[in-house]
Structure formats: structure tokens, C-alpha cells
Structure 1
Amino acid sequence: MDSVTQAVLGAGIQGALMGRFQGRRALIYGAALATVPDLDVLMSYPDPVSLMTYHRGFSHSVFVLTGLAALLAWLIRKYWPQAPYGGRRLFLTLWLVLVTHPVLDAFTVYGTQLFWPLARIPESWSAVFIIDPVYTVPLLAGVLFAIAFGMTQAARRLLAAALVFSTAYLGFGLAGRVAAEHRVREAMQAKGIAVTELRAVSMPFNTLVWRVIAKTADGHYYESVSSLFDKDPPEWLRQPLNLDVGRALAGVPLHERLRWFTDDWLRYDAIGDALVVTDLRMGLAGHYTFRFKMAERSAGGGWTPVTPSSWPTERGGWAEFKLVLARILHEQPPLPLAQWSELATH
């Protein structure tokens, strides 16, 4: 999630658990500690694929952060033995502030290596968009109330209520994802479309309308849209994965790492003399967030792998966002998936 959300989540947790002892300082301590896992952004990487796939790595591991929480608790108890709270309460607070950061990240689609160093596909639960005001605003309101009026019992209760609401909202998002996947799968089966893999991804800033991508055995995928309030079958668009083009990258280490990180939700396009690899999980049809040039056409017509570089992409703007918001309640007109998808090969 975004940095503001992570900060107010950490502040809310520490304020609720330690505000009685630390006062407003609890909010500062929690906000600062909650940003620690994202310090990996300060590390330098030689290419954008490495930057993408090593972010949310070791610094987001529950094992690493549990050890860090234990170390911090030990140091605090050692050098401030007169603190008016027990070691267990202190460790629990520090642990929750640190670990809820990567757990919340795992509820987005990006991919979080929650169990590093275990070689698991990064957790990508796709329950909420990376920025969701319904999740963030109640926490922010609780923190601002505590700043304004102090860490009173009412403020601590308000923070606790905001934390309960935000957690329940994540559950609502997961339920929405499951419902969208079920609805699209059933609709495709009714049309005789055999789906091999399918996943729903929340649309920008909400958990009511979902983008559902589905693979078929013939090397294609479908871009589909489903809203919680739909009565008619979801709309969809069939697109090629171009796996034959992607074979030129077979065995290339960074390509294999990208396949692992994205759970192989990749599309390949020959655009001029560039072989462009697209992460299908993030963005909208045609407005994909992560695209990489990973090979160039050689003089003989084949492909030569190169150091990856970012490929320009049309991310969409206010016009597309208004259409997405309108699609929550209205199935007509459907989103212009065909028009947007043309951008993928530009």
C-alpha cells in the first residue's frame, strides 16, 4: 500500500496499544517504525526488472521482522528498564507495527515475499488496490483525532475501532475478489470457454468493480470486467499472449525471475525491433503498469536478450478513471476494452 496508509496503520496500532503510556509519541513511534520495511527502496539495482522483483523482499519477511521486533524490544527493556509497560506488551506492539506492513502489502496485487527466504511465489492476494481511501481514511481520521485531543481513552477506542473496520474491509475485498472470479468463470463456462487460470484484480480506488484476467490453453487471455452490482453477464475481450515470441527469452535469468515473481502472468509483444514483456496483473487493459524491453531484433531477424529497460506505457488518467467509477453501478456502456487494448502494441 501507499506510504501514508502504512504510516497511519502503524500509528494506529501503537497508539491503541501504547498510547496510555507514551501519549502522542506513540503515534510518531508507530508511524516511523511502520515505514522501516520500505527502506529497501533506497537500494540500487541495475535494471527495472531487478528493482521490481527484489522490492518487498527480505525487508518484508515476517521472519526478519519478527527478529527485528525481538531485538528492538530487548534493547528498549535493557536501556529503559523503568518503562511503565511490560516486555510482552512491548514486543507485541513492535511486532504488529512491523509485520502488518508486509501483510497489508500482500493484500495488493504487486507481490510480497512474506516468507523470504523460502522460495515461494510472492504473496499477491489482490483484495485491495494499492491506494484505497475506504481503508485509509478511517485510520487517518482516528490518528488526527488522537493528535488533536491527545491519547485519551476515547482516542484509543476510536483507533481500535478504525483498526477493526480496516481489517474487516480487507475481508470484504477478498470476498469481492472470490465473487468476481466465480462470476466470470461461470459466464465463460456457459460460453464454452475453457479457462486454465483466472484471477481478479481490484480496479483503482475501490473494491466494487473488478478486472478479471483469464488464460486459455490456446495461448490467449481474456480481459473481463465484473461489478458487485452487475445483473448481466460480464464483458470481456480475447487477447494473445504471444508465447511464441516469448520463447526467445527462455532460460534468461531475469526473465525467469519475472515469470516467478508474477506467477507467469506475462504477455509478449514484438514492437518494432523490441521484444516487450508485460506484467498483466497491474493496470487496465492496454494501460499496463509494468512493461519491459528485454530483447532486440538482430540483423538475422532473431532476438538477442538485452539488459531490461522500462517500456513507455499509457497508464490512463482521469477520463479512464471516470469510466471505471461509472462502471460500478452501470453496465452500459461497457468499458472500451478493445479501444484500450490497442495501446498495448503501440
Structure 2
Amino acid sequence: MDSITQMALGATLQGALLGRWQGRKALLYGALLGTQPDLDVVIDYGDAVAWMTHHRGFSHSLLVLSGLALLLTWLVRRLHPDAGYSTQRLLLTLWLVLATHPLLDCFTSYGTQLFWPLRTPPLAWSTIFIIDPLYTLPLLVAVGAGLVGGLRGKRRRLPVVALALSSLYLAFTVAGKWMAEQRVEQVLAREQIRPQALFSAPTPFNSLLWRVVILEGDYYYEALVSWFDRAPPRLERIPRGSELAKVLVDSPQHRRLAWFTHGILRYDRIGEQLVITDLRLGMTGFHPFRFVMAERRGGEWRLPPRVERWPSERGDLEHLRQLWLRIWDQRQPVPLAQWAQELSR
């Protein structure tokens, strides 16, 4: 999730558990601690693929963060031995503030290596967009009220109420993902399509309209599903360019990217360059993670020693407007195939 949400979550958690003793300082401490796992963004991992696939790695590991919580608990106790709260309460608070950061990240589509250094694939439950105001708003309200009025008396309950509301909303996003996949799987069964992989995620800034991607050989399908749809979803068939993957058989970056994304990739030849797109993130035709994986020179494909990001757009307000209208009306046209064609230009 975005840094503001992670800070708000950390502040709300520490306010709920230690606000009685620390007052407003609990909100500040929790906000600072809650964003710590993302400090790995300053590390240079070598190239664009390495940066993407190592981010949310060791700094998001529950094993590492549990050790950090123990260390911080020991340090705080040395500096403040007479604090009114118990060591167990302090340890629980610090662990929750740290651990909920990667756990919340797992609900997005990016991929979080929760059990690093184990070589398990990154977890991406993809039930919430990376920025979702409805999740963040209750937390921000609790933090703002706590900063203004303190955390005494009845106001001590505000962080708990905010955490309950945000958690209920997160549960709603899980239900939305299940709904979208169930409706698409019914269409796949009826049309006798046997997918290699199926991926679903909410469209930008909401959890009512879902985007589902289905891989099938050299093609993939995309569909939009809303909570308010009455008819079965429509599948858009789009070329995937998977035959170009043969060029990358000796590319360690390609192997790592395929592992990180669970193979939800698209391949395009653009001029004399082979560009890979991570189809999970962003929106159809507007994906932030695209990479130049090979260049054609003298009639042969050559692998670069350092992979660079391909410039990408973020979409525009007109596309967001079309998606917003599609939430409420299944007849609203959304040209997914046309948007996807933009990736090959």
C-alpha cells in the first residue's frame, strides 16, 4: 500500500495499544515505525528487474521484522524501564505495527516475500488497489482526532473503531475477488476454456469493479466484473506474444520476473526491442512495470547486461471516467482490447 496508508495503520495500531500511556506520541511513533519496511527502496539492486523483485523482500519478511521487534523492545525497556505498560504489551505493539505493513502489502497485486529468505513465491492476494481511500479514511480520521483531542477518555476507542472499520472493508474486498472469479469461471466452463493461469484485481481506486486476466497459450483474455452486473462477463481475447519468450531462455532476469509475477506476463516486439509487461499491475494498457529484455542487432537478439524500465503512462481521467461508469452500468463500453493495443506501440 501507499506510504500514507502504512503510516496511518501503524499510528492507529500503536494508538490503540499504547495511547493510554504515550498519548499523542503513540501516533507519531507508530507512523514512523509503520513505514520502516519500505526504506529498502533506497537500495540499488543492480537493474530494474532486480529492484522490482527484491523490493518487499528482506525488509518485509516476518522473520526479520520479528527480530527487529524484539530488538526494539529491549532497547525501549533499557531507555524507559519505568513505563506503565508491560514488556509483553510493548512487544506485541511493536510486532503488530511492523508485521501489519507486509501483511497489508500482501493484499495488493505487487508481491510480498513474507517468508524471506525462503524461496517461496511472493504473496499477492490482490484484493485491494495500492491506493484505496475507503480503506485509509477511517485510519486517517482516528489519527487526526487523536492528534487534535488526544487519546484520553472515550477518544481512546477511536483507533479501535477505525481498525475494525478498515478490517471490515478489507474483508469486503476479499468477497469482491471471490465474486469476480466465480462469475468468470462460469463463462470459462461454458466456453470450454482451460486457462493456464487466472489473475484478478480491483480496478484503480475502488473495490466494486474487478479486472480478471486469463492466460491461455499465445493469448490472454481480459474481463471486467462489477458487483452490479446482471449478465455474464464478456471476455476480450488479446495476443500475448508468448513465442517471443524463446528469445529469453538464457535470461536470468526473465526467470526471476516470471517467478515473481507467477508468469502473468505479456511480450511485445517494439522496433528492435523486446519488451515484457507485468499484466498484474496498473490497468489494461497502462502498466507501470515494463522492461526492455532484449535488443535486436545484426539480425540477432542480444540480452543486455542491465535491464531498464520501458517508459509507461499512467492512463488519464477519461479512462477512469469510463471505468467509473462501468461500475454501475454493464452496458457502458470499455475498449479493453483497444487499450491493450497501446502496449505494442
* TM-score normalized with structure 2 length: 0.97
Equivalence for 2:36: 36
Equivalence for 2:322: 323
Q: CA deviation at 1:257?
A: 0.7
Residue 99 of structure 1 aligns with an amino acid whose one-letter code is A
Give percent identity, aligned residues only: 50
Matches within 5 A, 1:249-328: 249-299=248-298, 301-306=299-304, 307-328=306-327
Q: CA deviation at 1:170?
A: 1.3
The answer to whether the 8 A contact 2:12-2:159 is kept is: yes
Q: CA deviation at 1:219?
A: 2.3
SS at match of 2:117: coil
Q: Distance in 2 between matches of 1:277 and 1:212?
A: 19
Equivalence for 2:133: 133
Q: CA deviation at 1:325?
A: 1.1
Residue 8 of structure 1 aligns with an amino acid whose one-letter code is A
Q: Distance in 2 between matches of 1:129 and 1:320?
A: 16
SS at match of 2:7: helix
Q: Distance in 2 between matches of 1:42 and 1:283?
A: 23
The answer to whether the 8 A contact 1:236-1:337 is kept is: no
Q: CA deviation at 1:125?
A: 0.4
Q: CA deviation at 1:153?
A: 3.0
The answer to whether the 8 A contact 1:112-1:122 is kept is: yes
Q: Distance in 2 between matches of 1:302 and 1:183?
A: 44
1:181 counterpart = 2:178: no
The answer to whether the 8 A contact 1:34-1:97 is kept is: yes
Q: Distance in 2 between matches of 1:79 and 1:114?
A: 31
Q: Distance in 2 between matches of 1:30 and 1:121?
A: 29
The one-character-per-residue Cα deviations of 1:34-59 (angstroms, maximum 9, x if unpaired) are 01101101112332111111111100
Equivalence for 2:8: 8
Please list every run of 5 or more consecutive structure 1 residues that lacks an aligned counterpart in the other structure.
Answer: none
Equivalence for 1:26: 26
Q: Distance in 1 between matches of 2:172 and 2:235?
A: 24
Equivalence for 1:230: 229
CA RMSD between the two structures: 1.1
The one-character-per-residue Cα deviations of 1:194-253 (angstroms, maximum 9, x if unpaired) are 22311211111111100000011x321101111111001212211122121111111311
The answer to whether the 8 A contact 2:277-2:290 is kept is: yes
Q: Distance in 1 between matches of 2:154 and 2:246?
A: 61
Equivalence for 2:245: 246
SS at match of 2:8: helix
Q: Distance in 1 between matches of 2:231 and 2:128?
A: 24
Q: Distance in 2 between matches of 1:192 and 1:253?
A: 35
The one-character-per-residue Cα deviations of 1:168-198 (angstroms, maximum 9, x if unpaired) are 2111111111110111111122123222311
Q: Distance in 1 between matches of 2:152 and 2:95?
A: 23
Q: Distance in 2 between matches of 1:333 and 1:164?
A: 35
1:76 counterpart = 2:65: no
Q: Distance in 1 between matches of 2:274 and 2:163?
A: 45
Residue 262 of structure 1 aligns with an amino acid whose one-letter code is T
1:148 counterpart = 2:144: no
Equivalence for 1:95: 95
Q: Distance in 2 between matches of 1:41 and 1:30?
A: 20
Q: Distance in 2 between matches of 1:289 and 1:170?
A: 24
* Structure 1 residue ranges, 4+ long, deviating more than 3 angstroms after superposition: none
Q: CA deviation at 1:324?
A: 1.0
The one-character-per-residue Cα deviations of 1:44-103 (angstroms, maximum 9, x if unpaired) are 233211111111110000010001001110111123111111000000000000000000
- In the alignment of these two chains, the number of paired residues is 344
The answer to whether the 8 A contact 2:181-2:200 is kept is: yes
Equivalence for 2:170: 170
SS at match of 2:307: strand
Q: Distance in 2 between matches of 1:260 and 1:166?
A: 31
Residue 218 of structure 2 aligns with an amino acid whose one-letter code is G
Please list every run of 5 or more consecutive structure 2 residues that lacks an aligned counterpart in the other structure.
Answer: none
Q: Distance in 2 between matches of 1:267 and 1:339?
A: 15
